[in-house]
Chains A and B, each alone.
Chain A
């Protein structure tokens, strides 16, 4: 049971039940406001009937030519609201927006250890396009999978032919 609506600034005051989750980063304020000012349609929240934030997605469109794509910056669902298909709902929205913007593909980065998320993305039709070495800083640094799904504009699915070699973070545009 869900209300889907654009994320607003005031949601930042009540997203604690989602953001206190250790895999969800709380960014500096201007990070959120920049996304809101630039890509408001890519920043959506799912809310419970009682007004609690169940999860949200944050994304953007970027790249040139055939690299024009939608990107998932953050996708999170609060622990109480997992396994309800909300992440898929949110991903659908982002894919729809990317289709409307005539993107070639949608991509995202995920920790290689985050099996649950990787499986979910695979079920949603994403493939591991490449591995980005030591993308997440920490102790030790962790690799990321760059996962992709082609949009309808990429008729020949060129964007989702996996790379055979891993890349370094500085090679990721």
Chain B
């Protein structure tokens, strides 16, 4: 963040002396900045601005305590010059002490009560801490001696925010009435002058549900002066609220005559028609559409009125929408014809546009499944194509693609043989296009013919799932890599490749494509489910740690930034956005994936990170938010497979998993707390907390095992089944393993030796059994490549346990023979109990090492990706020099993953050996 203040008032001498400090701070060289500040302070030791900058440099150097001392001393002097205050504000902001900024400016304003800028900073300091009442006070004070509109509306907005957050309805009413009165006064004095002020007024009226007043305001000359040309559109939501359907009908019709493609006008138009139909009132006013016939007539007029130039989709889609709405209560066929025929007609007109099929999607479900499946070929053949047609022009290829895609979206699902045949045909089309130069993609744009490859990949996927076989998936991978090779911009191919490499459990290969998607910033949150969340269960812990860290860094950075955006919204008077930005900040703060990433990172670091203390994440959000974009991968399954519940259900599973992981992280953090050198008596509190935590974890595991017993269907566009399913249903008794191990640490910490011995013994006995159970869980049944993903996920659960038990053994070691005691080299006489503890811990340690050796054996025997890749590639070969990367990616992906795991295990083993007494 740039530190330099925008205006400097001191005529330059001080500014000149401070300049080098700013320069160093701006380029991030805090050490030099500190030296420079010291230099200035040598000459003028009391110069406040230099001291403030020194404090900032100290903070940024991680010397928080020293910085705080400087800051506290400065604050006591109650500075009021801008340079000092701004530097101090940044220090407070960066050290999360925003309340102190308020105090700083409160004092400054007292010493310079007529300084407008200081008042404005005071207001912003309240904005940053969300103190709406003080905001109101500061804004009014500001307005009193600088009567400018923005200040007045800052006060109004501060009142609105108090009302919005008030739980007391009476108080809320009074506050809103006050806010309204303040704006009313302003309007009557002709002082309102900005669009955003008008919008704030509407917001106030909305919160009081004064719909009629809003309409009146929108229709006033003042509103058209402030927001020219938008009265009709703005009135739509309020006419709806008031149930003024006739007026709404007229308004929307007028708007539609001029804007035949505006869906946001069609929807309220239909709403009005359908309400008026229900009212069934005889109406002599023929201009109002209150019957299906009139509505249909209107849409036909719109179709006819279109100029010959560009055919707009609007009126055509409106007819489908009318059909859909009428079909809810009857059969509209006699009025507007058959629904399927309408869809086919739409396709016929717009098949040359890639949007034809996405447009049709919402309407295909309205055709009865039987009719849909019987007449599915009408979609394919409506333009004279069939599945074997070989169009020669880009336009015709697009038409063919649209017809093929629409056909597949309505047809009955194919058997696996049928799907494979169709996939082969589609692949043939792609290869033909490639040969004939019809693949016209360039580095930034993909082309229609690519879609043959994409559709083929989908059908290979269906066949693979149906047969539980990896061979069709490998065919899809080879084809998609080829498509991507010729169309490097085709992100559909990239998304499918990521998905399909993960389907075969090859996270390294998936990563090679994911990197080409250049996912960053907010996409880390909306697309994280696609790749990052799959790395750990594919046993790629080290790469998972990197990506989890990126995700966390993004969210953390935004958390710090978000209050600043609120100050911008005040500065520019965008009151509507203020509410939105605050909601957005809260949404991201509660991000479910962000919370999961923090816990995954903490736990995985125990397995694969460098030795470090567990970093406990901030508290779990009360209501985690779902920020995943599940629509990014396009789906070609028919409507009966559409799972409307998918997003909610999968998120619910993720949240349950998050809570389990949270309990584990909290328990481990408590174990660390318990390992310090306090007397046993003082540890009782933590001990109790640990027991509660372990209890909660056990109960939750049991509950989840009942809740998530079913296996989820695998779909190409949905996330893979949540990790919770494999975890709680595993034959390996993770509940007992984790709970007992955590209890061991607790008992040891408060010297309950017998209980500790029992727990230690219990884990040591559980582990060899767990090994056998794991062996059973990951045994190859059927196609070893098809089941690779599941088996790796099972293995990853076990690996994560090994990471944690190893870490906890380290904690036990610290408890039993602290490093400080070792250093003293004094020979102490151990009691028989202590000797037994030592023996039992050693025994458990050896058992874990045996487990690691067992895992190493498993890795040595890990199945390879064996597919008839040459045969597949033969079908994809052209005369060029293209070499398919699939075989190599699968092979090296497997090898890299295995090496990663081996290295981790080696490190764990070494560490365990070092703990042996």
Contact = CB atoms under 8 A, between A and B. Distances in A.
A89 to B, nearest CB: 8
A110 to B, nearest CB: 13
Interface in A68-85: 79-85
Nearest to B354: A80
A40 B445 contact: no
Contacts of B173: none
A37 B572 contact: yes
B379 to A, nearest CB: 18
A14 B359 CA distance: 17
A91 to B, nearest CB: 16
A9 B584 contact: yes
Contact of A29 (B359, B561, B583): B561
A79 B523 contact: no
A40 B558 contact: no
Nearest to A53: B631
Interface stretch (B56-64, B129-137, B309-317, B638-646): B309-317
Contact of A2 (B261, B310, B572, B581): B261
Interface in B428-457: 443-446
Interface in A18-57: 19-23, 26-30, 33-34, 36-41, 47-50, 52, 54
Interface residues of B, number: 60
Contacts of A38: 568, 572, 574
A161 interface: no
Given A29-B558, A49-B317, A50-B362, A3 B574 contact: no
Chain A interface secondary structure, helix, strand, loop or mixed?
Answer: mixed
Given A1-B261, A36-B580, A37-B574, A28 B521 contact: yes
B577 A36 contact: yes
B576 A12 contact: no
Contacts of B578: 37
A54 B263 CA distance: 13
B526 A4 contact: no
B705 interface: no
A80 B355 contact: yes
B798 to A, nearest CB: 34
B632 interface: yes
B629 A16 contact: yes
Contacts of A171: none
B262 interface: yes
A39 B574 CA distance: 8
A48 B578 CA distance: 26
Contacts of B627: 13
A79 B487 CA distance: 13
A85 B568 contact: no
A28 B321 CA distance: 38
Contact of A1 (B313, B522, B558): B313
B354 A33 contact: no
A67 interface: no
A5 interface: yes
A165 interface: no
A52 B568 contact: no
A64 interface: no
A170 interface: no
Given A1-B359, A2-B263, A33-B584, A22 B561 contact: no
Interface in B566-592: 568-569, 571-572, 574, 576-578, 580-581, 583-584, 587
B580 A29 contact: no
Given A26-B523, A50-B361, A80-B358, A14 B577 contact: no
Contacts of B262: 2-4
Contacts of B359: 1, 48-50
Contact of A36 (B263, B523, B581): B581
B574 A13 contact: no
Contact of A34 (B494, B568, B629): B568
B353 interface: yes
B527 interface: yes
A19 B578 CA distance: 25
Interface in B351-381: 353-355, 358-359, 361-362
Contacts of B361: 50
18 contacts: A10-B587, A12-B522, A12-B526, A16-B632, A17-B631, A22-B488, A26-B518, A26-B522, A29-B522, A29-B554, A29-B561, A33-B562, A33-B581, A33-B584, A36-B574, A40-B577, A47-B263, A79-B446
Interface of A: 1-5, 8-10, 12-14, 16-17, 19-23, 26-30, 33-34, 36-41, 47-50, 52, 54, 79-85, 100
- The 3 nearest A-B residue pairs measured at CB: A9-B584, A20-B491, A37-B568
